[in-house]
């Protein structure tokens, strides 16, 4: 769970994974290559991501954000 302004810190995923949003709001995702993308999530939204992925995410909402990530090992 991320409070407003909280960051995940840099994470590197070696395996594909899926994420499910459990509390809607927005995150700013920063990629290892310097890219930035604001992502607005809705409750129940699922996304799959292909490895390798390295990113940091910041809660840019004014409320907390919660998501569930499952990595395929």
- What pTM, to 2 d.p., does this model score? 0.83
Q: Where are the domains of the chain?
A: 11-71
pLDDT of residue 24: 78
Q: Identify the bridge partners of residue 7 per DSSP, sorted by sequence position.
A: 58
- Which candidate, 73, 48, 66, 52, places its Cα nearest to that of 6? 66
Question: What DSSP line would sit under the chain, residue for residue?
Answer: -B-TT-B---EEESS-EEEEEEE--EEEEEETTS-EEEEE--TT-EEEEPSPEEEEEEE-SSS-BEEEEEE--
pLDDT of residue 25: 86
pLDDT of residue 50: 96
pLDDT of residue 13: 95
pLDDT of residue 42: 87
pLDDT of residue 71: 96
pLDDT along the chain (73 residues), means of 10: 93 95 90 94 90 95 91 94
């Amino acid at each position: 769970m991320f409070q407003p302004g909280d960051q995940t810190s840099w994470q590197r995923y070696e395996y594909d994974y899926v994420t499910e949003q459990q509390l809607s709001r927005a995150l700013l995702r920063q990629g290892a290559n310097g890219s930035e993308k604001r992502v607005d999530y809705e409750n129940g939204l699922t996304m799959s991501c292909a490895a390798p992925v390295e990113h940091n995410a910041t809660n840019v909402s004014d409320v907390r954000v919660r998501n569930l990530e499952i990595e395929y090992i």
